[in-house]
Amino acid sequence: MDNIHAPTVPAGPSSRPLTNGNAKHLSFAELQAKKENLEAELKALGGVLDSHGVNMETPLTTADGFPRADIDVAQIRTTRARIIHLKNDYKDLMNTIEKHLHEHFASIQDIEDVAPAPVSHAEMLGDSIPETLAETFAKVNSVVADSPADSAGLKPGDEIRNFGYANKSNHDDLKKVAECVQGNEGQRILVKISRRAESNRRQELQLNLIPRRNWGGRGLLGCHILPL
C-alpha cells in the first residue's frame, strides 16, 4: 500500500516556473506581487488543513493502518503536496529577490561610490515603487444588501484586478476565487478593484472582504461575480 501520509505529488524542485517568464528579468514590483500571491495562497491552504483539524504532520491512518474515516484524506494529501511545492517556489523567489537587492545596492555604490544603508525587503519592494496594476479578470454582477460583500464596499459593475491570490493569470475560470473564499472564512481578503467614476474615469480601490456564514443570505459573500 502506498504511504497514505505522503503527498500525491513528490516533493522536490519548484512546482512550475514562475509566471511571466524568467523571474530574474522581473521588476521589484512584479517580484513583490508574486511574493504576496504565494503568501496568500499558502495561508489559504493552511486554512484548508485547519478546517480538517490537521497539519502537515498529522497521521492520516488509524492505529491499525487503515485510512481515517473522519477526514477527507485525499483532499488533505493534495493540499499538503501543494503547500510543499509552493514553499519551494517561495524559497526560489526569495533567493531571486535577494539577488536583485544585492545588484541594486551594487549599482548604487558604483554610481555614487557610497555604500547604501541597509534596507529591508519590505522597504525596497513597498510603497517607494509604483504599483503595477494587474489586468481585470472578473466583474461584480450583483451585491446583496447587508452581506459581507456589501459591508466590504463592493458594488455592481466593479471590475476585479486581484482577489486575494487570484488574478488574471491564475484564476482558472474563478475556481481560485472560490478556493480563496473557502480557505479564508472569517479572515480578511484583500480585493483590488477598478470602479467607473464620473466622466468615465476609473477609480482604483483596495477593499477588505471577510467571508462569513450566517449573515442572513446564501453563500459566504452575498455577491455574484462573472469572469470577463
0.85 exceeded by the pTM? no
Pick from 93, 125, 157: which residue ends a domain? 125
pLDDT at 2 over 80: no
pLDDT at 114 over 60: no
Contact 95, 19 (CB under 8 A): no
Cβ neighbours around 33 below 10 Å, total = 19
> For residue 6, which of 87, 89, 74 has the smallest C-alpha distance?
74
Expressed as residue numbers, the domain containing 209 is 138-227
Pick from 125, 160, 194: which residue ends a domain? 125
The three cell numbers locating residue 106: 551594487
Q: Say yes or no: 120 and 179 in one domain.
A: no
The three cell numbers locating residue 59: 497521521
- In this prediction, residue 218 carries a pLDDT of 87
Q: Is residue 18 part of a domain?
A: no
DSSP E strands in 117-156: the ranges are 138-143
Q: Is residue 208 part of a domain?
A: yes
- What tens digit of pLDDT does each residue of 91-106 get? 888 888 777 776 655 5
The three cell numbers locating residue 212: 462569513
Contact 215, 148 (CB under 8 A): yes
- What tens digit of pLDDT does each residue of 158-200 get? 999 999 888 988 888 888 898 888 888 889 999 999 998 877 7
Q: What is the mean pLDDT of the chain?
A: 78
DSSP state of 24: G
pLDDT at 57 over 60: yes
Q: Say yes or no: 210 and 142 in one domain.
A: yes
In total, how many domains does the chain have? 2
